[in-house]
A and B are shown apart, each in its own frame.
Chain A
């Protein structure tokens, strides 16, 4: 069957999106598979369609489309946009090959889960966001010759992004600002500089598998956008890196506040002129100098009854030739010796004192 050509603007009468789409549906029912659409900003061209005959492919050549070219487009569909396309190119693309020779607006390839999207120019903000990979199908591919806007590949769950950074040497980042936030899956290859990607992702050099994938992919991509002459320039892989999410278990190396105190803080502490700070921490009950109270023994009144010896819970008290003593390294200052002594030979004294 011959190509179905649709002009959407005639005698100053513009077809609405709905009229255009219903025309396409009717033509497909008639058996058409190839379309040339001279659009006038109509939306959703090329999406969720399949040929009447199973196994046949659908092709769309589109000029001047509106938003969402190829949204929800399926395997077996091929869409070629001569020139640029506005927002949401390939939104929820589930298998189509979509080629935009010029630039794309915002959120290109948004939520794409299959197929290939080839862009011969730039793409806007949030492009590649929420791309996914259903393991029963091939991962979606999203190739961009130049650069993306900010927040690209947000929440990406799977798939492959390729940002070639062609002619973007002057830019501080070929992926705008704060890209890849919330990225949990997939891989993004990029060439050139990027700025402040999210802390949850990591930037790695390419391995041989990556290079093999790109090598093969470049042939298709550059052919699709008529830029085959760029292959040599773009396949210098020393200029490429990839972004992948950090594995779940890879914890951030944290610089603790304690590290900060030891390495950055005023040496010896800000009270170092007054206090020799050892940073020791006493538990609520402790021995030695940290005790709130300590016992003192009076030889004069002691009758050597050994009650204190038997009752001391810390076994801190000892007796040698009727001289009693309490071991500071064992005594916690509980006061039981003083309580049980029938002659008040042990008395508790406050160890509370201010620093000097």
Chain B
């Protein structure tokens, strides 16, 4: 090895070090063949054979595995080397002396980029401090999760209060005098919100298949949001488009093909989601690194191969009123006012002001308010945004719900909450608690990738989605890597997870005694944390 200067990147600077036991290694080459980051390589090492100084030294050359030290090929800790090693001779280990985030900035003069989700403040989630504490026993009958029938559907779309329904009594018959805004009764979990491009075609198709299967075979009316990368025309023209919520974000990617396909569509989509902001990186726009802008992504999006940056804001929107006028009106008009239109913003100090403003909605065109909290995932973001911007979901969802309650207008514009759900493994628990706090439903993305085989976590493992070298074939557009992903298995795992979640949601609804979704039933929740109790207006217990 060449002499190393103090200012050069060294192994000790990297977030992960490779622990390698050459006595166990049989030099089969599998680890280096499997590493998508090129972070390890075989090298020839020269060793002195004889230990005695009396003898003339003799040397031998042997093959060993060496960790690469460079900004382009450094270990992300994914552990594929240890998966394939027949002898357990190699694995990545977290480097306690890591100073990579300093070195990268100092060497490159660039901001550090990552995928995954925020890597700070993963402990002490508010949701984990809340328990379902009101158990129906002798006061009212609890239900049996596996045997009773439950109504889990929730409205997606504008709900009118009774006095605005436009019903008239004509000769004892109730007539509708004005058209009603579109509304769909859907499962209270919306999946996806990840674009074609951010995830591989296999991952995206597996989510779409799982969605269709859950609906058509199991009768679970789950919906999938497309994310802002368009939608394949074949899906647009199929009957399954009715399970898809089309997203439009500031980049407006993919809408040309959607508009072109409209005359040939046999079903209306489930809805449209206007994405204003994202919880993982609020105030920053979408980011798709050039290495993931594959040819088909270029086609669907109508762009060349380049880093694709969606503007941080929708250009041409300067006020809440204007966004209602332009975005909501236009998106409602796109499908002739037959498809509900909702909006997604990153949870923020200002969210209640926005929600209050939307609640006025004089045109009945605001069909949902999606709040995305700070632990949401992303395919690529500047680390500074990922780790240092954002707002937790729980109190903000609660604030918005209570703001509507104070006007007697809760439920008129359904609230959906997301951001780090399922982080501790159980989506149902997180969803149930948020629903009791006032959410009509929740949405989840990153969790789906983990179900699919993503080994990234919130402790700096992998999270290299931005590189396009995803070892699991999920966040990549490379042929070799994507084909590591088994569409059928991924779709089956997603289906299985939602079947389990469905039962678990009922397991929580049953003791509370609700056979319908307990939206806003905060009396069911207790917390041992006084501050949480006070902030969320739920019962403090000890």
Are B483 and A256 closer than 8 Å at their CB atoms?
Answer: no
Are A258 and B44 closer than 8 Å at their CB atoms?
Answer: no
B30 at interface, CB cutoff 8 A: yes
- Choose the segment among A6-14, A53-61, A276-284 that binds chain B (4+ C-beta atoms closer than 8 Å): A276-284
- Which residues on the A side are within 8 Å of B486 (C-beta)? 281
A274 to B235, CA, bound (A): 13
Are B33 and A274 closer than 8 Å at their CB atoms?
Answer: no
Are B44 and A285 closer than 8 Å at their CB atoms?
Answer: no
Q: How far is the CB of A143 from chain B (nearest CB, A)?
A: 25
Given contacts A261-B209, A271-B296, A314-B29, contact A289 B201 (CB under 8 A): no
B238: nearest chain-A partner, CB-CB: A266
Are B149 and A354 closer than 8 Å at their CB atoms?
Answer: no
A352 at interface, CB cutoff 8 A: yes
A282 to B201, CA, bound (A): 15
- Choose the segment among A94-102, A239-247, A333-341 that binds chain B (4+ C-beta atoms closer than 8 Å): A333-341
A311 to B492, CA, bound (A): 41
Q: A272, A338, A353, A355: which has the most chain B beta carbons within 10 Å?
A: A355
Q: Which positions 257-313 of chain A face chain B at CB distance < 8 Å?
A: 257-258, 260-261, 264-266, 268-275, 277, 279-286, 289-293, 311, 313
A41 at interface, CB cutoff 8 A: no
A178 at interface, CB cutoff 8 A: yes
Ranked nearest first, the 5 interchain pairs of A and B with the lowest CB-CB distance are: A334-B29, A274-B296, A258-B488, A354-B294, A339-B42
B235: nearest chain-A partner, CB-CB: A270
What would be 20 A-B contacts, judged by CB atoms less than 8 Å apart? A257-B213, A257-B488, A257-B491, A260-B209, A264-B212, A269-B205, A270-B232, A274-B296, A274-B299, A279-B487, A281-B484, A284-B80, A285-B33, A285-B34, A334-B32, A335-B33, A338-B42, A339-B42, A340-B42, A355-B477
Given contacts A271-B205, A293-B33, A336-B63, contact A266 B477 (CB under 8 A): no
A282 to B33, CA, bound (A): 13
A293: nearest chain-B partner, CB-CB: B33
Q: Quick one: CB contact mask for B206-229 with A, threshold 8 Å, 1 for yes?
A: 001110110011000000000000
A19 at interface, CB cutoff 8 A: no
A284 to B477, CA, bound (A): 16
- Which residues on the A side are within 8 Å of B306 (C-beta)? none
Are B29 and A332 closer than 8 Å at their CB atoms?
Answer: yes
Identify 8 new A-B residue pairs, CB closer than 8 A, beyond the known A269-B205, A273-B233, A339-B42: A257-B213, A257-B495, A261-B487, A266-B234, A266-B240, A270-B235, A279-B487, A283-B484
A80 at interface, CB cutoff 8 A: no
Q: Quick one: CB contact mask for A115-133 with B, threshold 8 Å, 1 for yes?
A: 0000000000000000000
B99 at interface, CB cutoff 8 A: no
Given contacts A258-B488, A354-B295, contact A275 B63 (CB under 8 A): no
Q: CB < 8 Å: which of A256, A282, A284 contacts B492? A: A256
Q: Which positions 42-63 of chain B face chain A at CB distance < 8 Å?
A: 42-44, 63
Q: CB < 8 Å: which of A256, A273, A292, A314 contacts B234? A: A273
Q: How far is the CB of A149 from chain B (nearest CB, A)?
A: 14
Q: CB < 8 Å: which of B38, B232, B238, B480 contacts A291? A: B480
A351: nearest chain-B partner, CB-CB: B480
A182 at interface, CB cutoff 8 A: yes
Q: Which positions 510-528 of chain B face chain A at CB distance < 8 Å?
A: none
A155 to B144, CA, bound (A): 12
Are A257 and B492 closer than 8 Å at their CB atoms?
Answer: yes
- Which residues on the A side are within 8 Å of B299 (C-beta)? 274
Are B63 and A311 closer than 8 Å at their CB atoms?
Answer: yes
Q: How far is the CB of B137 from chain A (nearest CB, A)?
A: 19
Determine the interface band of chain B, counting residues with CB < 8 A from chain A: 35 or more
A270 to B240, CA, bound (A): 11
Are B479 and A353 closer than 8 Å at their CB atoms?
Answer: yes
Q: CB < 8 Å: which of A182, A291, A339 contacts B43? A: A339
Q: How far is the CB of B198 from chain A (nearest CB, A)?
A: 14
- Which residues on the A side are within 8 Å of B492 (C-beta)? 256-258
Are B234 and A270 closer than 8 Å at their CB atoms?
Answer: yes
Are A290 and B27 closer than 8 Å at their CB atoms?
Answer: no
Are A284 and B479 closer than 8 Å at their CB atoms?
Answer: no
A170 at interface, CB cutoff 8 A: no
Q: CB < 8 Å: which of A181, A284, A338 contacts B84? A: A284
- Which residues on the B side are within 8 Å of A257 (C-beta)? 209-210, 213, 488, 491-492, 495
Q: How far is the CB of A303 from chain B (nearest CB, A)?
A: 16
Given contacts A261-B487, A282-B484, A354-B477, contact A335 B235 (CB under 8 A): no
A265: nearest chain-B partner, CB-CB: B209
Q: How far is the CB of B20 from chain A (nearest CB, A)?
A: 14
Are B484 and A339 closer than 8 Å at their CB atoms?
Answer: no
Are B27 and A281 closer than 8 Å at their CB atoms?
Answer: no
A198 to B144, CA, bound (A): 14
B394 at interface, CB cutoff 8 A: no
B482 at interface, CB cutoff 8 A: yes
Q: How far is the CB of A275 from chain B (nearest CB, A)?
A: 6
- Which residues on the B side are within 8 Å of A311 (C-beta)? 27, 63
Are B295 and A261 closer than 8 Å at their CB atoms?
Answer: no
A266 to B212, CA, bound (A): 11
Are A355 and B479 closer than 8 Å at their CB atoms?
Answer: yes
- Which residues on the A side are within 8 Å of B482 (C-beta)? 355
Q: How far is the CB of B531 from chain A (nearest CB, A)?
A: 43
- Which residues on the A side are within 8 Å of B440 (C-beta)? none
A335 to B33, CA, bound (A): 7
Are B63 and A352 closer than 8 Å at their CB atoms?
Answer: no
A356 at interface, CB cutoff 8 A: yes
- Which residues on the A side are within 8 Å of B268 (C-beta)? none
Given contacts A270-B232, A332-B30, A354-B478, contact A280 B212 (CB under 8 A): no
A266 to B204, CA, bound (A): 14
Are A355 and B296 closer than 8 Å at their CB atoms?
Answer: yes
A277 to B296, CA, bound (A): 13
- Which residues on the A side are within 8 Å of B83 (C-beta)? 284
B146 at interface, CB cutoff 8 A: yes
Given contacts A257-B492, A335-B41, contact A178 B149 (CB under 8 A): yes
B406 at interface, CB cutoff 8 A: no
A213 at interface, CB cutoff 8 A: no
- Which residues on the A side are within 8 Å of B27 (C-beta)? 311, 313, 336
Are A292 and B484 closer than 8 Å at their CB atoms?
Answer: no
Q: How far is the CB of B22 from chain A (nearest CB, A)?
A: 14
A154 at interface, CB cutoff 8 A: yes
Q: Which positions 419-451 of chain B face chain A at CB distance < 8 Å?
A: none
- Which residues on the B side are within 8 Å of A340 (C-beta)? 42, 44, 63
A334: nearest chain-B partner, CB-CB: B29
B479: nearest chain-A partner, CB-CB: A355
Q: How far is the CB of A133 from chain B (nearest CB, A)?
A: 21
B36 at interface, CB cutoff 8 A: yes
Given contacts A314-B29, A336-B63, contact A154 B485 (CB under 8 A): no
Q: How far is the CB of A46 from chain B (nearest CB, A)?
A: 28
Q: Quick one: CB contact mask for B229-272 with A, threshold 8 Å, 1 for yes?
A: 00011110010100000000000000000000000000000000
Are B488 and A332 closer than 8 Å at their CB atoms?
Answer: no
Are A265 and B212 closer than 8 Å at their CB atoms?
Answer: yes
